[in-house]
Amino acid sequence: MAVELRALLLLFCFPGLQAQTTNAEERRQEGSVLYLQCPYIAEIINYYQIVWCRVKEGRCDTIVSTSSPQRVEATGRTTTLSDDPVQRTLSVTMTKLRAEDSGTYSCAYSVDRVYRLKTISLNVFKEVLRWELDSLAVQCPYSSRAVAAGQKVWCRWEGQSKCTILEKTHHYSTWSQDRAVQTRIEIEDYSQRALTVTIKKLQAWDTGVYWCAHYRDSGLSRITEVVLSVAKRTQQHTAKESGNFSVQCLYRAEDYKAVSKAWCKVGARKECHILATTSSQSPGHSRVRIQDDTVQGILTITMEKVQAQDSGVYWCALHEPPELYRMEEVTLQVAKVLGRTASSEPEGTSQATPLDDSPAEPSSSMDTFLLLSVVLGILLALALITSTALCVRQCRQKDRTGKREADDTYEQPEATAEPDSTGRKESLNDDSGGLKGINLDLQSCSSPEDPLYSNIEPSQALRKPQNKSVEYAVIAFKQFPRSDMN
């Protein structure tokens, strides 16, 4: 009685210790960790145990408490509770979360009833990654008897408390917005209290957030949240104009060998227009051939004499009229051939793109770049050769000019007098009056028989030399052109 009275006094003095009316939401991925702190008043922990419990159908089932602060499961999952008396907080840690851990939890203590210190709504979601045409199978366990007795649904979360129902247990949902999606969904409710949902032929537009939910008159109550991401397989190829283009798409033969396949082109409105199918009842395009190897699961498409307008986005797809389910997306770029038009190509010429993801052939811009590089290289080489030849020639001309100037200097001494009208040159005498030399410059002769003359001073002719040495004169005869005697 004294303990209960003490508790009532604490609640009267600390009204904030009473049950919380609002819950915080914590969202975690499967396999992650939840860490949470619960503040408390020192007087409470001195008199009562604080527990971490899960709220189910109006009761709070204890998981751990201050008297037993740790719980370990066989799977290695742990839930621990630790006290920090300085900060006056209890810390809760839950590891390796699973989707079935989703629910409402509280830090609480009890006197005559449970008083919650902090309450959260925990949402542990499944994250699933798939490729197009894969299948998704997900289980949504539940434990509540109310959920087990009610109807379960599979819905797509649109936000703002709106979840569009795609399928229900026992019968198809009349609320479905996509009949094509309905035909791919199977939903089963097993007695083991687990809802199983299967989706076939996944497509990229199936990416989104989904709920396994309990359907009630008041609305939908989430059981498990599933975050689905679907990736598409893509190829990119380049082909030359008027050549042939081939591509291969792979699929699981055991699942889709009996299904008709199609090759289609995506239009402006994102609709895929069928060009050819493996079904003989479907019309085909005159330039498109399609072959299906159902043993190995390989679909081969060949387009003949492709043109620039054939560039675009294509699908290899499963064809289940009126629906198309994409296997792979193929982007084709047709490059024009330089120097000739498509009509000038010889008959039977083909330019095929490799079937794997190896790099495509170079485009026309690359051909132009290579051609210009070669031409510029040749012109540069010719310019270098020409410059070298001109330099050598100029050096040789300078050498010849130097030799000629040296010869002229030797033949024309500085003391030479200018010739008169008859071509006679007079020598200069020094002060001694001695005969130093006579330079004769013979201009031209009319004939070899014409006489030659020399002018000397008479005093020099009669004078005897003063010494025995005799100075001599050098007479240089230049070669003159001769007239033709004949």
**For 253-287, how does the pLDDT look when each residue is reduced to its tens digit (9 = 90+)?**
999 999 999 999 999 888 999 999 998 655 566 89
Do 305 and 271 have their domain in common? yes
What pLDDT, in 10s, does the model give residues 475-484? 555 554 444 4
436 pLDDT tier (thresholds 50, 70, 90): very low
Pair of tokens at residue 280 = 């003989």
Do 331 and 272 have their domain in common? yes
CA–CA dist 427, 473 (Å, integer)? 11
Residue bearing the bigger pLDDT, 142 or 1: 142
353 occurs within a structural domain: no
- CB contact at 8 A, 288 and 274: no
Q: What pLDDT score does 407 carry?
A: 54
Strands (E), 66-161: 70-72, 78-84, 89-94, 103-110, 114-131, 136-141, 151-159
What pLDDT, in 10s, does the model give residues 64-92? 988 888 888 888 889 999 988 888 888 99
Strand partners of residue 250: 298
The domain boundary, picked from 90, 123, 156, lies at 123
Look at residue 176 and tell me whether its pLDDT is greater than 60.
Answer: no
Q: What pLDDT score does 11 carry?
A: 44
pTM: 0.62
Do 144 and 89 have their domain in common? no
CA–CA dist 340, 375 (Å, integer)? 20
Q: What pLDDT score does 18 carry?
A: 46
CA dist 477 → 364, 417, 439, 447, 474 (Å): 76, 18, 10, 15, 10
Look at residue 107 and tell me whether its pLDDT is greater than 50.
Answer: yes
Do 10 and 102 have their domain in common? yes
Closest CA to 266 of 316, 320, 302: 316
Look at residue 429 and tell me whether its pLDDT is greater than 50.
Answer: no
- Tell me the DSSP string of 196-258: EEEE-S--GGG-EEEEEEEEETTEEEEEEEEEEEEEPPEEEEEEETTS-EEEEEE--HHHHTT
What percentage of the chain carries pLDDT values higher than 90? 39
Q: How many CB atoms lie within 10 A of CB 126?
A: 19
Look at residue 120 and tell me whether its pLDDT is greater than 70.
Answer: yes
Q: What pLDDT score does 75 carry?
A: 80
Domain count for the chain: 5
238 occurs within a structural domain: no
What pLDDT, in 10s, does the model give residues 4-56? 444 444 443 444 444 444 468 899 999 999 999 998 877 676 778 888 999 88
Q: How many CB atoms lie within 10 A of CB 253?
A: 15
Q: What pLDDT score does 486 carry?
A: 41
303 occurs within a structural domain: yes
Do 400 and 445 have their domain in common? no
CA dist 435 → 428, 464, 468, 473 (Å): 9, 11, 13, 9
Which region holds residue 329: left if phi is over 0, alpha if psi is between -120 and 50, else beta? beta
84 occurs within a structural domain: yes
- Contacts by residues 452-457 (CB-CB < 8 Å, ≥ 24 positions apart): 455/424, 455/426
- CB contact at 8 A, 143 and 224: no
State mean pLDDT over 200-215: 94
Do 407 and 418 have their domain in common? no
Torsion sign across C-alpha atoms 449, 454, 455, 456 = negative
Q: Of 10-14, 185-189, 343-347, 467-471, give the range with the top mean pLDDT.
A: 185-189
In the predicted model, what is the mean pLDDT of the chain?
76
Strand partners of residue 212: 154, 224
The domain boundary, picked from 170, 200, 231, lies at 231
Residue bearing the bigger pLDDT, 115 or 412: 115
Pair of tokens at residue 252 = 């699981």
The domain boundary, picked from 205, 231, 257, lies at 231
Residue 65 — φ and ψ, nearest 5°? -145, 175
356 occurs within a structural domain: no
CA dist 172 → 136, 167, 176, 222, 249 (Å): 19, 6, 8, 19, 34
Q: What pLDDT score does 387 carry?
A: 87
Look at residue 374 and tell me whether its pLDDT is greater than 90.
Answer: no
Residue 391 — φ and ψ, nearest 5°? -65, -45
Q: What pLDDT score does 272 carry?
A: 94
**Which residue do the tokens 């009316």 mark?**
21
418 occurs within a structural domain: yes
What pLDDT, in 10s, does the model give residues 179-203? 455 579 999 887 668 899 999 999 9
What pLDDT, in 10s, does the model give residues 378-412? 998 998 898 888 888 888 877 776 655 555 544 44
- Residue 87 structural domain: 2-123
Residue bearing the bigger pLDDT, 7 or 319: 319
Do 182 and 193 have their domain in common? yes
